[in-house]
Structure 1
Amino acid sequence: MRKKWLMSVLALLLLVSCFPLFASKAEAADYSQGVDLSGTTATIWFKSTVSTSWTDVHYKVNNGAQMNLRMTYSSSNARYEQAVTGVSSGTAINYFFTYNNGTPAFDTGWFSYTAGTTPTPTPTPPNPSGSIYSIPAASIPTAPSGSLSLKVMNGTGGAYPDSQIYWGVLGINPANGQWSYLDLNGNLVPISPALNDASGHLTKNGVNYANIYHTVSQASWVNLPKITSGRMFLSVGSPLYIKTYTEGFAGPDINNLTDPNRNIYFDFVEFTVDGSGYHGNTTRVDAFGFPIQHRLVNLSGSYDRTVGELESETRAGIFTKYQNEVPAAFKSLATDQAPYRIIAPIYGSFAPGGANANYFAGYSGYSTKDILRCDGALTDAATAAAINRHVYTTSNWNNVANYYNAAPANYYAKFWHDHSISGLAYGFPYDDVNGQAAYLEVGDPKGLIIRVAW
């Protein structure tokens, strides 16, 4: 959603036409699976105990390129199979499955196999009641036509009570073109400068701000009507301090040392709801505040998909992993505004005048600033994405296995892909090229669930 909706829509359609990456969480009771080795051929197999008419396997051999294939059903073995040839002793295969149970599609966890051994599942955390997957799709209330039901979940594991998790939605009401905020009754209420001083307003450092926020404890489900350029601000411990105007609002500016939100833990989700459905995403284009999961379910039950950081990730763990995994030039992005956020490169030492302002020098002919902002002299989406992913000088810009394999590359963006559901993340403005963004879209939305984790 970061540049043009059309780009995101086309990328998503191309991706979904291959296989359903954004599937729901699988139930282990639905299937058994394994790998059989005969000579140098390993057969990955999947045996369903539910109503399955197709199964896809996604696998990597020795951490090579990921293959995504529709499996063949073996009547004699009553299971789905995919042969992998050229397997010698010690060859490692990592794989997971996407399968259907009637209409919905589900993703399993990752499994690993080394030739000559028994495959074992990659450890996955339990899914307690606080999991975004714990809400049955059938339990989501059906909203009035043209809208959907919205729920914000507390996934902080006790770090913050429901009364300390704040959310607020701002956007344009397509019915009248007015900038508005969403109240708990599902109404879009026009905003203006007067809202900053209205009854119940917020105050920080002697300055008044609009109070457009709610807490998780105030409502289980809220009706979300059609809205254009919607943004849901999320924060813990404190609401955000945002000035409202008739023509828009002044949101948090992490680059401004005097911004009242610099010492608040916050994040956001962006979306549009229109005549063609729901279109939305989580984003790391500016910063990481805390883990978010973003789940979308449709009315017919054929679409139930989740993006965002993996539920197994904790905020503290992400900060530690970031320092351990990114190259030296990128490490300070996790300390510049700690403990509140990990900032994007352009807000740190990669900005003009910074120590890494010339990080991409000599690679493509574009400035580091334009490459990271995908702006200025660099507005072609595919080119901008190829440079960030370090495939600009290759002949194939769409082979995901080649992304971020050498410097200079946007290793900040790589990190979020490595720690997100299905490897999907918005790490820079044109990260939707080749379907890599954490983007969800469906024409008949029923429910939207946003989980704030810690």
Structure 2
Amino acid sequence: MLRTLRRRVTAVALGLATALGGGWLAAGVPSPAHAAVPATIPLTITNNSGRAEQIHIYNLGTELSSGRQGWADASGAFHPWPAGGNPPTPAPDASIPGPAPGRSTTIQIPKFSGRIYFSYGRKMEFRLTTGGLVQPAVQNPTDPNRDILFNWSEYTLNDSGLWINSTQVDMFSAPYTVGVRRGDGTTLSTGKLRPGGYNGVFNALRGQSGGWANLIQTRSDGTVLRALSPLYGVETGALPASVMDDYINRVWNKYTGTDLIVTPFADRPDVRYTGRVSGGVLRFTDGSGAVVTTFQKPDASSVFGCHRLLDAPNDQVRGPISRTLCAGFNRTTLLANPHQPDRSAAGFYQEPVTNHYARIIHAHMADGKAYGFAFDDVGHHESLVHDGDPRGASLTLDPFD
């Protein structure tokens, strides 16, 4: 069945709540004064994939001026979704024809928190519930989008500029690079794989013992479609629920006798919390010794999803502490460094029990940056570009090599 869109990624220092899910990005920190960001900016989609299938583009999201969910057409005009139903009803066809191989198509993107979906060969199937848009849940073998090759980028365009990312939080699939053309004429880009990186990710997952190869989904004709995130691997049984237990248990044991120091804000080093495990509970205190939040010992789902026992509300205490813990568990830096967050990638993923999915993806990115889990932005290791005075954006469909 289809799953209601839900927030997965929250970019560092970006605080505007969004109605839809994934890593939807929004600005909470004003940019320096620039000319007003226009109502729409051009997004150029270039097809360097080397594949012959028809490309279908979708721009789905929340209109920031009204809070309404809907889609934008190629001109950037907003169309609200009609009322949905229960069971979900088909959404209107919001597809935009994409570029032929070796060609480019330019569309306008409005002030949205949204996703740019792209699919190869077949249009995607979106549905509406009474609560709004639902998204493909390809971890479910009966999902109608299960056998479609597709992916998406997430973006927010508002009065403070453009944020656009390349995300692997839910899955690793069709390769692409995103970019922003800045007001000074320069460009920033991220998300590009190293040469051979696409196949390299799948080959590395196949070679990793412990069930990680089970994350890979293929079509009946043998086409490799994607690798699911380890969260979905645990939820579907592709990965054992105990896959992170050894590391989690060792962390809990260590901090029964050692302080875990969390300094969640790089620009506020005076904000510091001290954690200790007592009675099986990790308690954090502030400088006065008052307990500010507590955590039960997490499981693999909580670690990989940065949710449940590691829930991170959009506040100034528990959320920042939980984000830091989530990053430390996924990157397995909590045993080696009692001062968190550990911001140096040199020490990430060094344990044999770790988030191998995120490790492998980062290792195959040209700039080393990725959104391999929800809070991969801790320490600025995320595949995100931003400019406060954007003149245009780009999404390049890259080769499958």
What TM-score, normalized to structure 1?
0.62
The 3 A distance-change label for structure 1 pair 175 and 185 is same
CA–CA distance in structure 2, aligned partners of residues 242 and 419 of structure 1 = 31
Q: Which residue of the partner structure matches residue 399 of structure 1?
A: 344
Q: Which amino acid aligns with 2:110?
A: P
Q: Which residue of the partner structure matches residue 307 of structure 1?
A: 190
Q: Which residue of the partner structure matches residue 339 of structure 1?
A: 224
Shift of 1:339: 2.2
Question: Deviations 1:48-68 (Å, cap 9, x if unpaired)?
Answer: xxxxxxxxxxxxxxxxxxxxx
- Is the Cα contact below 8 Å between 2:179 and 2:187 reproduced in 1? yes
Select 1:445's aligned residue among 390, 395, 398: 390
Mapping 1:25-40, distance limit 5 Å: none
Question: Deviations 1:219-263 (Å, cap 9, x if unpaired)?
Answer: 7322212112x0111110111100145753111111222210000
- 3-state SS in 2 of match to 1:386: helix
- Is the Cα contact below 8 Å between 1:148 and 1:447 reproduced in 2? yes
Shift of 1:437: 0.7
Is 1:381–2:381 an aligned residue pair?
no
CA–CA distance in structure 2, aligned partners of residues 165 and 413 of structure 1 = 28
Select 1:423's aligned residue among 364, 368, 374: 368
Q: Which residue of the partner structure matches residue 250 of structure 2?
A: 363
CA–CA distance in structure 2, aligned partners of residues 374 and 321 of structure 1 = 24
Is 1:227–2:112 an aligned residue pair?
yes
Q: Which amino acid aligns with 2:40?
A: S
What TM-score, normalized to structure 2?
0.69
Shift of 1:192: 1.1
- Is the Cα contact below 8 Å between 2:90 and 2:128 reproduced in 1? no
The 3 A distance-change label for structure 1 pair 404 and 185 is same
The 3 A distance-change label for structure 1 pair 387 and 155 is same
- Is the Cα contact below 8 Å between 1:280 and 1:441 reproduced in 2? yes
CA–CA distance in structure 2, aligned partners of residues 322 and 433 of structure 1 = 24
- 3-state SS in 2 of match to 1:221: strand
CA–CA distance in structure 1, aligned partners of residues 225 and 335 of structure 2 = 37
Shift of 1:282: 1.2
Mapping 1:30-109, distance limit 5 Å: none
CA–CA distance in structure 2, aligned partners of residues 424 and 212 of structure 1 = 31
Mapping 1:179-190, distance limit 5 Å: 179-190=69-80
Shift of 1:317: 4.8
Select 2:212's aligned residue among 323, 330, 335: 330
Is 1:160–2:160 an aligned residue pair?
no
CA–CA distance in structure 2, aligned partners of residues 189 and 366 of structure 1 = 42
Question: Deviations 1:325-361 (Å, cap 9, x if unpaired)?
Answer: x34431221257762111111212x338665211121
Question: Deviations 1:248-297 (Å, cap 9, x if unpaired)?
Answer: 31111112222100000011111111110011211111111211111111
- Is the Cα contact below 8 Å between 2:90 and 2:126 reproduced in 1? no
CA–CA distance in structure 2, aligned partners of residues 148 and 169 of structure 1 = 13
Question: Deviations 1:109-154 (Å, cap 9, x if unpaired)?
Answer: xxxxxxxxxxxxxxxxxxxxxxxxxxxxxxxxxx982432111111
Q: Which amino acid aligns with 1:452?
A: L
- 3-state SS in 1 of match to 2:374: coil
Q: CA RMSD in A?
A: 2.8
Shift of 1:176: 2.4
CA–CA distance in structure 1, aligned partners of residues 200 and 332 of structure 2 = 27
Select 1:414's aligned residue among 352, 359, 362: 359
Select 2:140's aligned residue among 256, 263, 269: 256
CA–CA distance in structure 1, aligned partners of residues 182 and 397 of structure 2 = 21
Gaps of 5+ in 1: 13-142, 196-206
The 3 A distance-change label for structure 1 pair 175 and 335 is closer
- Is the Cα contact below 8 Å between 1:242 and 1:251 reproduced in 2? yes
CA–CA distance in structure 1, aligned partners of residues 360 and 66 of structure 2 = 41
Select 2:92's aligned residue among 197, 210, 216: 210
Q: Which residue of the partner structure matches residue 390 of structure 1?
A: 332
- Is the Cα contact below 8 Å between 2:138 and 2:145 reproduced in 1? yes
The 3 A distance-change label for structure 1 pair 382 and 258 is same
Is 1:3–2:3 an aligned residue pair?
no
The 3 A distance-change label for structure 1 pair 6 and 418 is closer
Question: Deviations 1:175-232 (Å, cap 9, x if unpaired)?
Answer: 222212111222111111489xxxxxxxxxxx8542101122497322212112x011
CA–CA distance in structure 2, aligned partners of residues 352 and 383 of structure 1 = 24
Q: Which residue of the partner structure matches residue 294 of structure 2?
A: none
Gaps of 5+ in 2: 1-6, 16-24, 26-35, 252-296, 312-321
- Is the Cα contact below 8 Å between 2:331 and 2:349 reproduced in 1? yes
- Is the Cα contact below 8 Å between 2:46 and 2:99 reproduced in 1? no
| Number of matched pairs | 305
CA–CA distance in structure 1, aligned partners of residues 354 and 97 of structure 2 = 39
- Is the Cα contact below 8 Å between 1:148 and 1:225 reproduced in 2? yes
Question: Deviations 1:31-77 (Å, cap 9, x if unpaired)?
Answer: xxxxxxxxxxxxxxxxxxxxxxxxxxxxxxxxxxxxxxxxxxxxxxx
Shift of 1:311: 5.8
CA–CA distance in structure 2, aligned partners of residues 316 and 353 of structure 1 = 24
Q: Which residue of the partner structure matches residue 287 of structure 1?
A: 171
Q: Which residue of the partner structure matches residue 41 of structure 2?
A: 148
- 3-state SS in 2 of match to 1:306: strand
CA–CA distance in structure 1, aligned partners of residues 69 and 81 of structure 2 = 6
Deviating above 6 A after TM superposition, structure 1's stretches of 4 or more consecutive aligned residues are none
